[in-house]
Structure formats: C-alpha cells, structure tokens
Structure 1
Amino acid sequence: MAIQKISESVYMGMCLEMGTPQQVASRRDIIDIVEMLRSNENRPFTVMLSGSRREGFRLSGSDTDYMRWPNNHRVIWDFSQVQFYNTQEHILILCDSSESPPGFTLLWLPLETANSRVMSACVRMNGMLYISSSKYREVTCSIIISGSTPHGPCGSGSLGNVEYDHAHCFISDFWPPSASSWIDRCQSWPPPHVVNDIIRNGCHFVAIGHKLGNHTDKEWRISFSQAEYKVVYSMNHTQFLTYGLLKLFLKEIINKGLRDGDKLLCSYHMKTAVFWAIQQNALPYWHPKNILVAFWVCFKLLLKWVYEGNCPNFFIPENNMFLNNIYGEAQRTLFTQLYILYEKGIALLLHSPSINSYIINVLCNPRLTICTVEHSLISEVEFDEDIFNEISIYESMGSVDLRICRKYLHAVEESIGLPLTQYHNVMLRKLTATILQRTAFMLHNLYTNTGSNKQLYIVEKMACHMLKIAARFGFVSDMLYIAMYYYKTFRYREALSVIDITKVKLVQPYLIYRSHVDRERYIEAVGGQSLSTKMRQAVAKDIKLDNAIFYIDELIPEQQSSNQNNQPTLHIPPLVPLYMLELLCSRHVDTMRAQRALDDLQVLVHHDQGQLVPVHLRDISWEILGICQQISGDLQAAMYSYQQSLRQYPRHRIQTATRQRIQDLHL
C-alpha cells in the first residue's frame, strides 16, 4: 500500500509538473488547429512543430523544434510510385538505401530539375546526382533566422529567451518499406485508426548521416517525428507522465552536471523505452497507482539496452541507436552509472528536485490522503492561464500578406462545420481576431498612397469594422488596435473614447495579465463561463506589432531596427501603448490630459516591479517612454529613457533605432 500511495503522490506531482489531462489536451488542440489553418496557406513550404512541445510538454529549458520542407519536392521509394505525381508540379527524389545502415538512405535526384537551393547541395557519385545532407545543412542553416548555428540536422539559436531547432527536410507520402514490420507489431497498440493515419502520412528525411555509414556526409536519416507525436497522443495519461518522469530522471539525475558533449543518453531514448514497454505489454495496466512500477519497467529496459549495447528504433528495430556513441568504454561507464542507480531502487528519484517532495510527503505522513482527481489538482484560474498563454504564443503565425490572410479566413469559415473542441474554438476566435487586425492595417497602408478618396473611404470603413469584430473575438487588450487605427486616421476623439473604455477594463483586479490577477475576483467575475467569454472580458496580453506592417508612424524606426535584426514582432505591455496613444491623441484635443498620460506612463515604467512591465519587455517600454518625452519637449528625460532602453535585455534588438534617436536629440 505504501508504494501505491507514493505512486499516487508522484502522479499528482507529475500532473502539476507536466500538466493534467485537460491541460495536455488543450495544448495539443491549440497547436493542431493552428497547423490545420497553416496547411491552407499554399506556401512553397510546410512548417510543422515537433518535439516535446508538440507532444504536450511545457518543460523549462526545452527547445522549440520545427521541421520545414518544400511542398514541390517528394521522396519516393521506387519508380512505381511516380504514377501518383504530376511531374510538372513535383520534383521527385528517389531513395537509395542499398549502401546505408538501417534507418538511413541516400537521396538520388534522377532529373536535374530541383530548386537552386537543392541543386547547390548536390554531389556526383558514380555519375549520378545525390543531395548531400551536410551540404544541405550548410545552405539551409540560416535561411529562416540568420546567425543560426548547426546542431545535428538543425539550425539552432535563440529568439529572446526561447531556444529553437529548425530542421530543413524532405517528405515522403509513403511509409518506408524498412518500417513495414512496425505495422505488423501494432496488434494492440497504437489503435488501428492511429496506425492507419500514421502510415497514410508517410515520413520525413532530415539532413544527417550515420556516423559509421559509408557515406556519412551524404546520407539522410529517416525521421518519424510526425508518427511519434501521434503515438504519444494515443498514450493514456499515466503513460504520458511516465515518459515525462523519464525525461526528468534523465535531466536531473543521469545527465546532471554533464556537458552537452558528454551526455550519452537523450530524451529520444526515453521515449523509445516507453513506446516499447507499452507495445510489448510489459505492464498490464497503466494507472496512477503504478506509475512508479511503470517507471521501473522502462528503466530496466533502458538498463538492458545499455548492457547489450543495442537500443532498437521503435519503427525500424534494425536501427541500433546506440551504435554512434554508446559502445566500448563509454558503454561500460554508462552501465556502471545506471546500475548504481538501479541498486538504490525507487529511492533514486529522491535525487530529482522536481519529484522528491512528493515522495517525502508520503514517507513523513503515511496517513496522508492523496487526491488523483486530475481536474481538482489545479485551480480554474491556473488552467485558464495555461490555455491563454498557449493561445498567445501560437496566434501570431508569422508575417503574412493579404492573400494569405484571405486564405486563413476561408479556412476558418470551412472549419465551422467540423467537430471542434472548446480549445479549437477559442483558438480559432483569437486567430480570426489577429488576421482581421493585420488585414485592417495592411489595407490602410496599401490604399493610403495609391487609392482614390472613395476607395480609401471604403477601406477605412471595412478596416474599422474588422477591428471591432476582432475586439469582440480577442483579448481585452485587442481594443487598443482600434485606438491605434483611429489615431492613424486622425480620429483623435474616437481613439480617446476607446482608450477610456479599455483603461477601465485593463485596471480591473480580475484581469489576467501574465500571472498578475486577483484570483478570487476572477472567479467572481467570469468563473464557470466559456473560454471565449473569459478571453474577451478578463484577459490581457501584450500588444504585438508585426514588423512587416506599420501601425503608427512613431514606432516605425523601432520596427525597422527590430526587423533588420530578424525579430518579426514587437511585444509591448498593454498599458504602455495605451498611455502612449492617450498622449498622442490628447495633444490635439486636451493638453492637460496629454501631460497626465505622460506622467502615468513615466510612473509605470520607472516604478513597476515586473508585474505590468515584464523585465524582458523593458527595452521597448523605456523606448516608448523616451519617444513620448521627446514629443512632449522634455529632451533630458528622453535621453535618460533611451539610455535606460539600451541597458535592458535587448529582447527586440531596437538598439539601432535607440542610438539614432539619441543622436537626433542634439543635446
């Protein structure tokens, strides 16, 4: 009974660390609906979120992994598959696995008709043209974000405080023949509909060869990333949390204190162990009461693999994933390390800072009652915060043009008849709001200098209508886009009216802004209501200015500087642009109010303790304060604010604009 109670406590702790079933479901639904809309863009490439974030984890320090492939290139396994393609539209690449280790292949280009980027990565072998994985990594590493550095098959780096891995790859619509045995093994798990969906969607090829292969620099690894997240989706929550527990075990115990180059085991090995344990029925029931038994089963399997020097890939078992680095002396050392942990028994988890308290609580309080009813583990406010953070992360969708905005809106319209979850619906509403906001400003910028007065009148009427709809669909803070548009079109009194309404809403104690909220008031105000209602009435997020679209003239230099340094968006705490817009509009109608707005902005930026002006957004906040002070004629104060902006963490990389503004002060 004691081990069961400890298991239940660990399960509860893992729900708090990794997410409850509802949280994980909401994260997955939000990403899935975003990618469904992206598939309607008709861009020359497709981007897919992969890795632990796609699976539903939100672990601090984890990379954000993306896969990207050209839509007009397809990999086939034999010439008989040519019949399924129009060769005028698709460039076909043929697999040649004859000289490659299991799980790897050469990519042969039968006709020299690929795009220039692919052609620049080609090499000749035996008179035939092959796409070199190492050359392809070189030419694609910094395409998306300049300054990215090679990391495995990816281009890696960081945007703000988020690290990323972008893998440029190719796709095959067909399941690999070398993985056909996986289909035969799936008798009980994953379920048939998951297996069929996985097979129907084929696989990918990432640009890295086997270190012991004959053509290391030219080979490509067969990637099952898409299949893997679908397999993870099919896990029950105990299985998912067992996988999460193994990830913590790896990070906080096995690899603790090791440099990256010295880490022999990785998260992928942990995931593979869970996959095999589930499919081989190593545990009859996966339940909160036996999560520690489940962990132990997977750990023993991992220990066995290290002892034997063989970690079989889940989809292609002949691919031994230890061959590259776990052999010889390194293998023996790792086995000794793991066996010492094995001898400690389940007590080894006491070395995990994330888990040990959940074990100690039970050991110190044997009569403790453990609640494993997942929805009672976190409050309604915490659950809502998690969802709205997810929505805010994925609603940006990158820079888009009017054509893509139109396609998004069409895709939203088509989704109305689909069986959608509440998480799908609330994400669709915010995406719609974002698309309408961008469309409104793009239309205005397009027609201001090129349209007739009649066209401009029609466009402005449409834009205002779009922004009002967006405000009804989005966050409380989305009302500020209406105020921005009114200011941009010289309707100062109308802008101030919107600002007055928005200001009242933004200072309500029940408003969620990041983690700043009066939880009791929030429940009183919107508790139990739909997520859409909560979003519209009680949630504020940063104002996001896409650097490809100019919103107000006063921030154009900052947007240009940020854009030139590969930052796609300015993120501004909502009260900062509110006071800025209040000052800019009041200058034309009420100078006393303009001074009050400047005073309010100054107090906010100078004295906020990170609640309403987060530390990582202080660079743009100090910058805006300086702009407002300069406009108001207080040049000494503006100089101080610009200097403060330069001293902050350069989240937006606006230093070029800041230095130019300092020069222009002529003090």
Structure 2
Amino acid sequence: MNAMRDNLSSDQSKTIITSGSYGEGLEMRGSDLDIMQVYKSIKVIADKQPDFDTSITYLSMDTDDVKPGFTQLRLEYSRLQYDLECCEEHNGEHYFSSALWMRNTLLCGNKDNQIHGPCISDKEGVLDVAYTLHCRTWISSAVNWITRSSSSWPSHDVIQSIINHGVLFVPIGVKGSPKEDIEWRVSFSVAEKLLINTFTHTQLICYALLKIILKDGIANDYECKNLLCSFFLKTIMFWISEELPSAVWKPDNLIPCFMRCFSRLVYCVEHSVCLHYFIPENNMFENKIVGRARDVLFKKLNKLHSYGWRCIFFSDQISNFDVAMWYFPIEPFTLYANDVKKIVQSRMLYIANDCLESYSELDIFNTGILHNIWSHQFSLKHLYAYYISQRCSKLAQRLPLDGAIINNKYKYKQYKSCLSTLLMNVYHDAVSGWLMVVSLFYKTKQYRKALHIIRYSISKCTPDKLFFGMSLSDINYQSLKLQTFPKKSVAYLLKIMFVDSIRLTADSTLTPDELSMEGRNITHLFPSIAYAYYLSFLCHHHLNNVRQCQDSLEGIKLVIAESYLIQN
C-alpha cells in the first residue's frame, strides 16, 4: 500500500517515498509518519557528467574537510532563481546551502509548520517531510560496502538494486561544524528499506523488540531520552545480519538472536562506537554517547540486560500482550480478522492516505500510468484502483462547474466530465464515493436523483461496516466470518465494507452553498452517514417536503447521539 500510494503521489517534479518505521513495514506506538520528497529538478553529480539539461540545476559533491557521511554540494549550473537563492559563497565557490533550503521551503509551506532536524514537521508533530536531493551514482565513500560482505546477505540482486538507485541527501550538517549551514547528510534511506524488505520474520521481530525496548525501557528515562534513536538500532541489525548466516534467523532462535542484538547495543554504548553501515568511517556515537550521558545510558542498558530476554516485559506493549491465543490452533479467519483490525485502527495509514490528497494532481488518463498499473499482478491492480478512486474525489472537486441548470453544450461538457470522474471515486469504499455523486446532483438542482442515491447510500451504512479508528465489535467479526473476504484482496474488502469520511476541499465546486454561507473557503470533513442525512434534508427542503425534512433532521440527531459509524 505504501508503494502504490508513493507511485501515485509522485509526478514529473518530485518522487515521494514513505520512509521511517512505517515505510519499513512497522507501525510502532508513538511513531510519526516520515515522508521524503525527492526533487527531480536538481541533480547531484558524484563522478560522471550526465546528459546536460538546461532546465536542471546541477550540483557536485565536495567532501574535503567534511565528516564522513556528510558532504558539501557545489553549484555547477543553474538558471532557476529559487535554487540560486539557496546558495552561499565560500572561497570563491557557490555552495547549495542546507540551511537556506530548509528556510525557503518552510516559508513556502504552512505557517504552522516547523523545522525538526532535516525535516519540516506539522504543528501536531505527526508528519515529518524531508525535502531531499538525489544522486543516481553510487558514491565513492561507500564503495567498499559493495564487496565487504562475504555472507549470503544481502544477496547480489539486492546489492545491485541499491547501487542502481544511488543515494539521497538530506538538508542537515554536522552539529557545531563551522560549515554546518552548507553541509548535507548522505542518506541511504531507500537502501535501508530494500535491506529490511529482505528480513526474515525473526529478524523483523528482533528489530521491533529493540525499538520497543528503546521506547518503553530507555527513552522514558529523562536522562536517556534523546541519546539513542531507531537508526542506531537499525544499523546494529544490519551489521549482525551481515555477520550471521541467514539460517540462524529462524523462529527457534528468536531469543538468542534478540539477546545477541541487545548485547551488541550494550557493547556499542560501553565503547562509544556505532559505525555507519555503509560508511564505517563515520562513528555515529562520536561526541554524542560520551561522558556522563554514556555512563547513565550504559547503566540503564546493563540493568535491562541483566534480566535477559525478560527485559521486554518492562514494556506494557509486551506485558499486556494476549498470549492465550498461542495455546490453541490459530484459525485462518482469526489471522484475517487481525489484519482487518490493524487496517481500521492504523493511525499511520489514515494519515498517509490523507497525505495523498496533498500532493500534485494525478493525471488518471495518463497512458504511462495506466500501462504501469496493468503490468502489475492482479492483487496490485486492485490496490492501484483503490488509490486512484480515492484520488478522484479531489480531482472532481477542482473541475469547473458553472451554474445549476445543464442548458448549453459547454456546461453539459463540464457536468459530464465531473460526473465521470466521480463515478471513478466509488471504488475505494462503500458509501462516500456515491455521496460525492449526490453532491454533484445537488449542486445542479437534480434533487430527486440525489435522493435516490442518498437512500441507497444510507442503506449501505449497516452496523457491520468498518471505519477508521473503530474497535471491531461482535457484529463485525461475525460479518467477516460469514463472508468470503479472506479469499479476496484488501482493496475488495475496503470497497465492500469500509465507510470513509466525506472531505470537501477548500474552494471545492461541489460544496453545498449552505456550507459556504459564512464566506470562508475551508476544508469540511464529515462522517458519511451524517452527510447523507444532511443532503437529504437539503433536497427535501428544496422540494418543500416538510415531513421528510423533519425525518432527515431526526436521522442526523440519532447518528450524532449514537456516534454511529463516526470516527473518534
């Protein structure tokens, strides 16, 4: 789902990459959503000169007197004013400034956003976006990694995929460096995702347990809170995965594997050394895990380590884990229901899908996109269709829609274009897509047509339906068990059983006039069932159906009182 959403969010100007724990397939408690935007209008040259394009800004790496893992980016060519404004002159050369890049990016975005390390974060702190640059060539400082490993991990194919991608650069320098403002950190984020995708289940559990220990056993201590991060744990996992034969990482060895990883973390802190996996010359603990900070952290880790594998029970995520299910055979339905539960309760999935609406417009009729979709296997086609459907709601709301009566050729063409786009919006859930069609009929004064679809939509809002943030009830479990969903794709389940919210964007052409009476152009978010009754009330009002207006109002009151199909 991350890959599908990233592909459809990317365009000719930038590539979107979901990164961090969620991008790696782990949704941890308290984690945020990390997104990388890679700008295609700027290219970093490592060794060879690419084919020259006057519309591209070219930068070259300069690693003289820079800490390993970091670089300066010297300006080679640009005619873009925005990029030129991000440059600083040093010793007669112009360098692309990470500090100016971050400042200018922040100024172009939401005024409530703030700088968080190399990222721009929203005011709630749940979304971190890193605006990055790309070099397609594998850099020389990491060339030894290609041939270093003599084990079977990672495989030759994975190594080749990593090399072919190249590296990224994130806008942050070495803290305290005299050139900090013009330094960039080399990022192997995509390479790390490719490596984690090769993990066995046992490796992934070890990685997750280390992150849980960090979150619930170490970071909750005030003096240790900001000393370690997930990236250090991931680095340790990579080194041990390279050292051990792949056959070791099996379920029967889970505890020894986990304790080996934990022991390595203790060793690294004791000796203040954690070597970057791709650039070992970069000791990431240098000037960080030292002095009193190191002593406090080492004491804390030693205490946890003394409990052996049982140290995981210091986390309530583990101590409260329901182990009863392990004493009985696990039915396929139980596993499927647990997957459904994860989807509807996933905070990260909700935020990530919401972010899809924020990126540039998708040309759903682009032949290149369609060819890319239909070249994938059957299950992935359904996921593409799910996200395209979700995207069509926003596209339709931006189409011009003049007047209410379809009485001339131009208006009729506008109407048909909007309707056809909205009909593609009915494939990602059971209700909201149809209610967007109702919005179109209401705006064009086709009240009877609108009421017909409203009745159909309300009939779909049954107690067994799913929505984001819910807790599955007995009705939901029984419904899932009776249906043939386990044999279907996730996208099929969402289309049949899921009830999404209605999002009317600012300046939407489909927003009912009654919602715009205050004269403010704002985004509206409504539960589908409540919006259905609201549109029913408006349609009956225009048709002078007084009794039906009262019934619709009673419906809204009941939905609100019972919080029926309403996200918390």
Aligned to 1:300: 263
| Equivalent residues in 2 for 1:106-125, closer than 5 Å | 106-111=72-77, 113=78, 115-125=80-90
Q: Is residue 55–residue 229 contact of structure 1 (8 Å, CA) maintained in 2?
A: yes
Q: Is residue 236–residue 261 contact of structure 2 (8 Å, CA) maintained in 1?
A: yes
1:227 alignment partner, one of 191, 195, 199: 191
Displacement of 1:343 in angstroms is 2.3
2:557 alignment partner, one of 574, 589, 602: 602
1:418 alignment partner, one of 372, 375, 379: 375
Q: Is residue 209–residue 312 contact of structure 2 (8 Å, CA) maintained in 1?
A: no
Aligned to 2:390: 434
Instruction: Flag the 1:529–1:164 CA change in 2: closer, same or farther, 3 A.
Output: same
Q: Secondary structure of the residue that 1:509 maps to in structure 2?
A: coil
Displacement of 1:400 in angstroms is 6.6
Q: Secondary structure of the residue that 1:475 maps to in structure 2?
A: coil
Structure 2 Cα separation of the partners of residues 164 and 441 of structure 1: 25
Q: Tell me which moved more, 45-54 or 244-253.
A: 45-54
Aligned to 1:491: 446
Aligned to 2:272: 309
* TM-score, reference length from structure 1: 0.77
Q: Is residue 476–residue 537 contact of structure 1 (8 Å, CA) maintained in 2?
A: no
Aligned to 1:543: 502
Aligned to 2:92: 127
Instruction: Flag the 1:211–1:449 CA change in 2: closer, same or farther, 3 A.
Output: same
1:520 alignment partner, one of 469, 474, 478: 478
* TM-score, reference length from structure 2: 0.90
Structure 2 Cα separation of the partners of residues 85 and 371 of structure 1: 62
Structure 2 Cα separation of the partners of residues 612 and 451 of structure 1: 35
Q: Is residue 73–residue 92 contact of structure 1 (8 Å, CA) maintained in 2?
A: yes
Instruction: Flag the 1:219–1:464 CA change in 2: closer, same or farther, 3 A.
Output: closer
- Match for 2:482: what amino acid? E
Displacement of 1:213 in angstroms is 4.1
Aligned to 1:339: 302
Instruction: Flag the 1:136–1:530 CA change in 2: closer, same or farther, 3 A.
Output: same
Taking only aligned residues, the RMSD between alpha carbons, in angstroms, comes to 2.9
Structure 2 Cα separation of the partners of residues 154 and 56 of structure 1: 21
Displacement of 1:599 in angstroms is 1.9
Structure 2 Cα separation of the partners of residues 560 and 60 of structure 1: 37
Aligned to 2:339: 383
Determine if the alignment matches structure 1 residue 273 to structure 2 residue 236: yes
Structure 1 Cα separation of the partners of residues 425 and 340 of structure 2: 20
Q: Is residue 114–residue 123 contact of structure 2 (8 Å, CA) maintained in 1?
A: no
Q: Tell me which moved more, 213-222 or 57-66.
A: 213-222
Q: Is residue 435–residue 454 contact of structure 2 (8 Å, CA) maintained in 1?
A: yes
Q: Is residue 511–residue 522 contact of structure 1 (8 Å, CA) maintained in 2?
A: no
Cα deviation, 1:303-332, whole Å, max 9, x if unaligned, reads: 111122110001111110001411233223
Structure 2 Cα separation of the partners of residues 114 and 309 of structure 1: 46
Determine if the alignment matches structure 1 residue 614 to structure 2 residue 567: yes
Determine if the alignment matches structure 1 residue 63 to structure 2 residue 32: yes
Structure 2 Cα separation of the partners of residues 534 and 139 of structure 1: 43
Determine if the alignment matches structure 1 residue 38 to structure 2 residue 9: yes
2:166 alignment partner, one of 191, 194, 202: 202
Aligned to 2:44: 75
Structure 1 Cα separation of the partners of residues 29 and 525 of structure 2: 21
Instruction: Flag the 1:294–1:414 CA change in 2: closer, same or farther, 3 A.
Output: same
Structure 1 Cα separation of the partners of residues 517 and 161 of structure 2: 48
Structure 1 Cα separation of the partners of residues 427 and 133 of structure 2: 41
Structure 2 Cα separation of the partners of residues 243 and 54 of structure 1: 14
Displacement of 1:137 in angstroms is 2.3
Q: Tell me which moved more, 494-503 or 517-526.
A: 517-526
Structure 2 Cα separation of the partners of residues 383 and 274 of structure 1: 26
Determine if the alignment matches structure 1 residue 99 to structure 2 residue 57: no
Cα deviation, 1:183-213, whole Å, max 9, x if unaligned, reads: 1124411222221111111111111112364
Q: Tell me which moved more, 84-93 or 436-445.
A: 436-445
Displacement of 1:538 in angstroms is 2.1
Displacement of 1:450 in angstroms is 13
Displacement of 1:345 in angstroms is 1.9
Cα deviation, 1:100-119, whole Å, max 9, x if unaligned, reads: 011011111134x2533433
- Match for 1:232: what amino acid? I
Structure 2 Cα separation of the partners of residues 139 and 115 of structure 1: 14
Q: Is residue 93–residue 107 contact of structure 1 (8 Å, CA) maintained in 2?
A: yes
Q: Secondary structure of the residue that 1:470 maps to in structure 2?
A: coil
Q: Is residue 186–residue 195 contact of structure 1 (8 Å, CA) maintained in 2?
A: no
Displacement of 1:370 in angstroms is 4.8
2:530 alignment partner, one of 564, 576, 596: 576
Q: Is residue 429–residue 496 contact of structure 2 (8 Å, CA) maintained in 1?
A: no
- Match for 1:91: what amino acid? T
Aligned to 1:554: 514
Q: Name structure 1 gaps, 5 residues minimum.
A: 1-29, 363-367, 563-568, 616-667
User: Identity of paired residues, percent?
Assistant: 27
Structure 1 Cα separation of the partners of residues 9 and 221 of structure 2: 40
User: Which structure is higher in helix share?
Assistant: 1
Displacement of 1:497 in angstroms is 0.5
Displacement of 1:123 in angstroms is 1.7
Aligned to 2:540: 586
Aligned to 1:170: 133
Aligned to 1:656: none
Structure 2 Cα separation of the partners of residues 308 and 400 of structure 1: 45
Structure 1 Cα separation of the partners of residues 329 and 283 of structure 2: 38
Displacement of 1:449 in angstroms is 9.8
- Match for 2:363: what amino acid? R
- Match for 1:95: what amino acid? M
Aligned to 2:430: 475
- Match for 2:514: what amino acid? E
Q: Tell me which moved more, 538-547 or 209-218.
A: 209-218
Q: Is residue 404–residue 443 contact of structure 2 (8 Å, CA) maintained in 1?
A: no
Structure 2 Cα separation of the partners of residues 387 and 459 of structure 1: 36
Q: Is residue 223–residue 293 contact of structure 2 (8 Å, CA) maintained in 1?
A: no
1:236 alignment partner, one of 173, 179, 200: 200
1:88 alignment partner, one of 54, 57, 69: 54
Q: Is residue 64–residue 163 contact of structure 1 (8 Å, CA) maintained in 2?
A: yes
Aligned to 1:460: 415
Instruction: Flag the 1:416–1:614 CA change in 2: closer, same or farther, 3 A.
Output: closer
Displacement of 1:257 in angstroms is 3.4
Instruction: Flag the 1:197–1:600 CA change in 2: closer, same or farther, 3 A.
Output: same
Displacement of 1:144 in angstroms is 3.1
Cα deviation, 1:156-208, whole Å, max 9, x if unaligned, reads: 2345xx61212222111111110111111244112222211111111111111
Q: Tell me which moved more, 195-204 or 451-460.
A: 451-460
Structure 1 Cα separation of the partners of residues 534 and 321 of structure 2: 48
Aligned to 1:511: 465
- Match for 1:94: what amino acid? S
Instruction: Flag the 1:295–1:184 CA change in 2: closer, same or farther, 3 A.
Output: same
Number of matched pairs: 557
Q: Secondary structure of the residue that 1:540 maps to in structure 2?
A: coil
Instruction: Flag the 1:558–1:239 CA change in 2: closer, same or farther, 3 A.
Output: farther
Displacement of 1:71 in angstroms is 1.2
